[in-house]
Chain A
């Protein structure tokens, strides 16, 4: 029974749509996080003086701002992913399972 349903889901073009869309979104977001984070770590390792550079006229420096920006920006990406996955992707997913369950019984 379950195996039938899995085969049904696999053969549904909506499954490819869901998997492709979600994978692309997840990979792009992961790439952004990894590039920004390891880029920052590389800067710390190879150009420590850049990290200490002041930004603007106050006491704010590049490293502190970059760290704080990562906290905020990664949170924003997390929110974007959850919002899209919990609406668009989940709707697609439910339709897919409904199709397979009714199709599997018919």
Chain B
């Protein structure tokens, strides 16, 4: 495809979207159109589409497409990782959780953060030294390429799809509330823009969308936090006394409560969040966009700083909202304190923005939330498309015998298909509670991707059979447990009682994966197993030193 046609193709949909947004058809009957929010979001879209045009010129090879040619700096990648990791659920969900249950949500955020140092200490440099495009390159490094790639690509796609559905349904509902656009139209905008970013701009465009979005998110959150905190003279004591004076929990706001009711729930949640982070394909993929292990380490440091900072900003926002939003009757249904919050409980952060900064800040934060969804969805689609085109098509189906052009074409088709699938799944799940999807994505990532990945990097004795048993065992057990848990068995299927009593399966499914991988590998006496064990020595040297690592 020539550059010229890439550019015109990138600009055409842009015009289409502007017409779509201005068209009266876009109006949902029950919500007023939010003009400042839509204009600010429109500016974001124009900027990111221009970047996509620029990125399209730089995307010629598969390496450009999957990993931006390894040319992203540690600082840029740190911002992009933070952008990938902090979704709209982080901004809206965590603010709402703090607002409702106090310290439980703060403990949750610590768990969401604590995986990052572990990723740095145990995984970052080996990931960069051994991988090329996907984490599957590492797990299949010395094992049977076709079997391991098939398995790891399947579990990657499962994680990506569940994460995508959660994002799409959230996006549709959020955009309806914030912008007054119809649910289905919102899905088409998100899906359409995602396809444009990824197919034309690949990893370069996706990275810059993440970076811009991360900056907007950090800036918007900081503004709301400072304005809100200033009403308490920036005093923690004053903030907490006023909040516990008006909250229904009172002083029990700082006492752990229902979210972490029992030890098993608490520990399983901690494991799932910590090691799930270390098994998310779209996050792991970001380690291949930097030039070497040095930059990979720096990216984790920067990402951790942004994530830790923003989680604390959100905590202050949530507590301040208890007083500022919770005591303002105009934010409640029927103007009555204590009734349901307008737009549902996830709107706490938005109401707070309006209360402290008026319609402009509300519009800005709404645009940021939309941008956030778009960026996360683009990162997921790229990871999914890479699993399909690189792992399944090029390496498994074609056994590595493909041209760059063929592989690139398949990647673009896969991206478009994932976009369509995301829109369709978004429609199918519109009226369903999709809270379990995130638990499932993290559970599968922690139980299927992480054990095989870490063992392949550290354990000489891992064989193909062991990795297959561990990977499929972790995948099946985690999916089964989530299906049997309350959020699916009772809330979706309507049975009276859950068979699996916890929400997060990691505490049980991770030992299944590690146990199976260990037992099967140790009992594997095949000739292939001997070769695989012998190949560990060279892999070990490359993992440690980076000699022979993919450079482009």
Q: Is A40 touching B110 in the complex (CB atoms < 8 A)?
A: yes
Q: Name the B residues within 8 Å of A93 (CB-CB).
A: 544-546
Beta-carbon contact of B117 and A64 below 8 Å:
no
Indicate whether B219 reaches chain A with its CB closer than 8 angstroms.
no
Decide if B122 touches A37 in the complex (CB within 8 Å).
Answer: no
The smallest beta-carbon distance between B511 and chain A, in angstroms, is: 15
Docked CA distance A29–B124 (Å): 14
Closest to A66 in B: B110
Question: Which residues in B have their C-beta under 8 angstroms from that of A63?
Answer: 103, 106-107, 254, 256
| Complex Cα–Cα for A51 and B110 (A) | 14
Q: Is B409 an interface residue (CB 8 A)?
A: no
Whole-angstrom distance between the alpha carbons of A22 and B252 in the complex?
44
Query: B547 near A34 (CB under 8 angstroms)?
Result: no
Residues of the B chain whose Cβ atoms lie less than 8 Å from the Cβ of A100: 547
**A41-B266, A45-B260, A74-B114 known; A15+B544 contact, CB < 8 A:** yes
Given contacts A81-B297, A100-B547, contact A33 B114 (CB under 8 A): yes
Neighbour of A85 across the interface among B111, B116, B297, B308, CB < 8 A? B297
A30 touches B547 (CB 8 A): no
Interface string of B290-305 (1 = CB under 8 A from A): 0001100110110011
Count contacts on B: residues with CB < 8 A to the other chain: 52
Question: For the complex, would chain B's binding face be called helix, strand, loop or mixed by DSSP majority?
Answer: helix
Tell me if A86 and B266 are in contact (CB < 8 A): no
Q: How far is the CB of B85 from the nearest CB of chain A, in Å?
A: 15
Question: Is B233 an interface position by the 8 A CB rule?
Answer: no
> Closest residue to A5 on the B side, CB-wise?
B547
Confirm or deny: B113 has a beta carbon within 8 angstroms of a beta carbon on chain A. Answer: yes
In the complex, what residues of A have CB within 8 A of residue B548's CB?
A: 2, 5-6
User: Within residues 361 to 414 of chain B, which ones have a CB less than 8 A from any CB in chain A?
Assistant: none
B300-320, CB < 8 A from A: 300-301, 304-305, 308, 311-312
Which residues on the B side are within 8 Å of A22 (C-beta)?
Answer: 544
Shortest Cβ distance from residue B379 to the other chain A in the assembled complex, whole angstroms = 22
Q: Is B61 an interface residue (CB 8 A)?
A: no
Interface 1/0s, chain A 28-48, versus B by CB < 8 A?
011001100110111011101
Q: How far is the CA of A11 from the CA of B537 in the complex (A)?
A: 12
CA distance in complex: A10, B541 (Å)? 7
| A71 touches which of B103, B240, B308 (Cβ 8 Å) | B308
CB closest chain-A residue, reference B113: A71
Q: Which residue of chain B lies nearest to A97 when distances are taken between CB atoms in the complex?
A: B547
Which residues of chain B are near A10, meaning CB under 8 Å?
537, 541
B536-552 with Cβ < 8 A to chain A: 537-538, 541-542, 544-548
Name which residue of chain B comes closest to A31, CB basis.
B121
Cβ contacts A to B, 6 pairs, < 8 Å = A15-B545, A37-B274, A45-B263, A67-B107, A71-B110, A71-B312
| Nearest 5 Cβ contacts at the A-B interface | A45-B263, A52-B255, A59-B240, A48-B256, A26-B121
- Additional A-B contact list (11), CB under 8 Å, known A6-B548, A45-B266, A67-B110: A5-B547, A29-B121, A58-B237, A63-B107, A67-B107, A71-B110, A71-B311, A72-B308, A75-B308, A78-B116, A81-B121
